[in-house]
A and B are shown apart, each in its own frame.
Chain A
Amino acid sequence: MTARRTFVDLAVALVAIAGIALVLEVWTRVMSVPSYLLPAPSAVGARMAADAGLLAREGGVTLSEAAAGFVIGTSVAFVLATVMASSRPLERTLFPLAILVKLTPIVAIAPLFTLWFGFGTAPKVAIAALITFFPMLVNSFVGLRSADLQEVAFLETLGASGREIFRHLRVPSALPYLFSGARISLNLALIGAVIGEWTGADRGLGRVIFVANANLDLTILFGAVLVLAAIGIAANAFVGAAERRLLHWHPIAVAT
């Protein structure tokens, strides 16, 4: 049943994408839209085929930076959320700092990361980590606080330690929130890696997009954007599959 539903969802999405591509193809041809303003989907497809190796390599670079940033950012966020969930004073102290991180315009400070972390992948990973931090922090915090107080009290009467309550009640209760945070953070991690690559990189899809934009080469620009989107969709599907597997007991797993 689930496989059939997935197949139908995929087919509907593909038909919708094909429909949009067809409209754009006809429009660009009939209106003779120059490729430096909007390339025809067929031209983008042809370019993607011609540069498949390049896009795959650069996509791999961006994915690895985003994945590393995601792991670091969400891990730090979860630890901080745990601290905040366990203490009101710490919550009041740390939450404004988390808001500060959230409100910092990443694009404006991205060049500084090169000065702080040097060239190479480190500044890209750091930006990806920073941008993924806040959604996971909020979701983790709310999730850890969502444990049923009566259940907490029950476990305490059984003599459960704080660590045991955390492991066997708070974390399982937080899982739906963690997966929700992960879905948001994964896509943000990709965007963070791309922003990092814009500020000085010799690899990655962000660099491909940056150079293509400077050269008005929109076929490869859209090709890189589509590869980025494909990575994002695949990452989301991966998280969805993990969510269904780990949360098979939860109503949310049925809904997704």
Chain B
Amino acid sequence: MKGLAFVAAVLLVACNTRAVAPSPTPVPTEKITFMAGFKPQADLPFVAVYVAQEKGYFHDQSLEVEIQHATSGEHIQLLSTNRVQFSTGSAGDVMKRVASAGVPLVSIAQIGQRDEQSFAVRADSPIRTLKDWEGRLVGIKSTVSADYLALLQVGGVDRSKVREVTVGFDPRVLADGRVDVYPVFTANEPDTLARLGIPVRLFDPTSLGVPGLGLSFITNQQMVDAKPDVVTRFLRASLRGLADAIADRDSAIDVVMKYATGEDRAHQRYMLDTEIEAAQNDLTRANGIGAMDRSRYVGLRDFLLQYGGIAKTVDVDAVFTDRFIKDLYKEGRLVWR
């Protein structure tokens, strides 16, 4: 018995010794808000944050993260006033808002490496090429997009021969046969239509050479300037969550469903799979998920300028920064500390 007490005492001392060993100065916990740019769903940046929260990666980075979801685009204004510190937005949208309204937004990690939108036709449609759009009814969601105009040019389509109609955001207008071509969010609407019994074929701008980019993590200029360490810690935890989601998609969907209550699990899985595929290319395989390439932002800006997506030019270096993402990876692998 005495022997046991002695061993216990030795262990206690040993543990205590390890506890008081020199350690890095503790970082004070920072409270931040992440507002996803849309409702809870398996958009890849959202999943990254959900998983990081679930697994305590934010806590490990001394961050207390409140997760919110935007319903009608309010995340941009909230981000600009620093009521929200991190959000998501497509690289093109960020550029438009900086160019048109001077909103101080900065992309800090490029998750989607492809254009978010495609143009869908029913699988049984006689439309096979872009040129076939002539004489057809093409749906426009709200305004004529630069992607659309670029596709027309790529396909040598005479726009005057295309009938355009503003149709809103309900893909059932394609299922219903009210339009022949409908712009869709590639990650979810093709699956929505397939579930309605209407499989579709896609005209994907990225595959056709149009320089689009998908969702990125965004913050405001104030965070970049005043709290770069918080930006780094947020991204580090989120990217670890993202890596976990890619490695174990079923578990990631379990986490997603805690937020996306009432959503269809299989549909969420479709989204996750589609977005994981869209997040990877040669750039990310060499530099890690979220990698940014300045030349692609320059290309995107020039493309938006050419097709009227933005009315005036914008300083690319004010819209994105790769300083954080570069620091987080070593030889394409996320460094966790």
Real complex partners, A and B?
A: yes
Q: How far is the CA of A37 from the CA of B101 in the complex (A)?
A: 10
Tell me the residues in window 17-37 of chain A with beta carbons closer than 8 Å to chain B beta carbons.
34-37
**B73 in contact with A214 (CB, 8 Å):** yes
> B220: shortest Cβ distance to chain A, in Å?
12
User: Which B-chain residue is minimally distant from A110 (CB atoms)?
Assistant: B168
**A35 in contact with B167 (CB, 8 Å):** no
In the complex, what residues of A have CB within 8 A of residue B328's CB?
none
Tell me the residues in window 252-275 of chain B with beta carbons closer than 8 Å to chain A beta carbons.
none
Interface check A161, CB cutoff 8 A: no
User: Which B-chain residue is minimally distant from A216 (CB atoms)?
Assistant: B101
Interface check B59, CB cutoff 8 A: no
Interface check A213, CB cutoff 8 A: yes
> A26: shortest Cβ distance to chain B, in Å?
20
Interface check A91, CB cutoff 8 A: no
**B101 in contact with A36 (CB, 8 Å):** yes
Stretch in B12-20, B169-177, B229-237 with 4+ CB within 8 Å of A: B169-177
| Contact with A119, one of B77, B102, B165, B169 (Cβ below 8 angstroms) | B165
| Contact with B170, one of A115, A210, A215 (Cβ below 8 angstroms) | A115
User: Which B-chain residue is minimally distant from A215 (CB atoms)?
Assistant: B100
In the complex, what residues of A have CB within 8 A of residue B140's CB?
202
**How would you classify the secondary structure of chain A's contact residues: helix, strand, loop or mixed?**
loop
Q: How far is the CA of A207 from the CA of B167 in the complex (A)?
A: 12
Tell me the residues in window 78-116 of chain B with beta carbons closer than 8 Å to chain A beta carbons.
80-81, 96-97, 100-103
Q: How far is the CA of A138 from the CA of B165 in the complex (A)?
A: 38
**B73 in contact with A36 (CB, 8 Å):** no
Q: How far is the CA of A216 from the CA of B165 in the complex (A)?
A: 23
In the complex, what residues of B have CB within 8 A of residue A199's CB?
168-170
Interface check A201, CB cutoff 8 A: yes
In the complex, what residues of B have CB within 8 A of residue A217's CB?
100-101
Interface check A160, CB cutoff 8 A: no
How many A-B pairs have beta carbons closer than 8 Å: the answer is 71
In the complex, what residues of A have CB within 8 A of residue B168's CB?
111, 114, 198-201
In the complex, what residues of B have CB within 8 A of residue A34's CB?
80, 101-103
In the complex, what residues of A have CB within 8 A of residue B76's CB?
216
User: Which B-chain residue is minimally distant from A203 (CB atoms)?
Assistant: B166
Interface check B142, CB cutoff 8 A: yes
> A157: shortest Cβ distance to chain B, in Å?
59
In the complex, what residues of A have CB within 8 A of residue B160's CB?
none
> A227: shortest Cβ distance to chain B, in Å?
20
User: Which A-chain residue is minimally distant from B103 (CB atoms)?
Assistant: A36
Interface check B23, CB cutoff 8 A: no
> B44: shortest Cβ distance to chain A, in Å?
23
**A37 in contact with B81 (CB, 8 Å):** yes
In the complex, what residues of B have CB within 8 A of residue A198's CB?
168
Q: How far is the CA of A34 from the CA of B142 in the complex (A)?
A: 25
In the complex, what residues of A have CB within 8 A of residue B73's CB?
213-214
**B173 in contact with A114 (CB, 8 Å):** yes
Q: How far is the CA of A207 from the CA of B170 in the complex (A)?
A: 16
Interface check A229, CB cutoff 8 A: no
> B137: shortest Cβ distance to chain A, in Å?
9
Interface check B178, CB cutoff 8 A: yes
Beyond A36-B101, A210-B142, A216-B100, is A200–B167 a contact (Cβ under 8 Å)? yes
11 further contact pairs, Cβ within 8 A, besides A200-B169, A210-B142, A216-B100: A36-B101, A111-B169, A111-B170, A114-B168, A115-B172, A115-B176, A119-B167, A214-B143, A215-B97, A216-B97, A216-B101
Taking Cβ atoms with an 8 Å cutoff, the residues of B that contact A are 72-73, 76-77, 80-81, 96-97, 100-103, 140-143, 165-170, 172-173, 176, 178
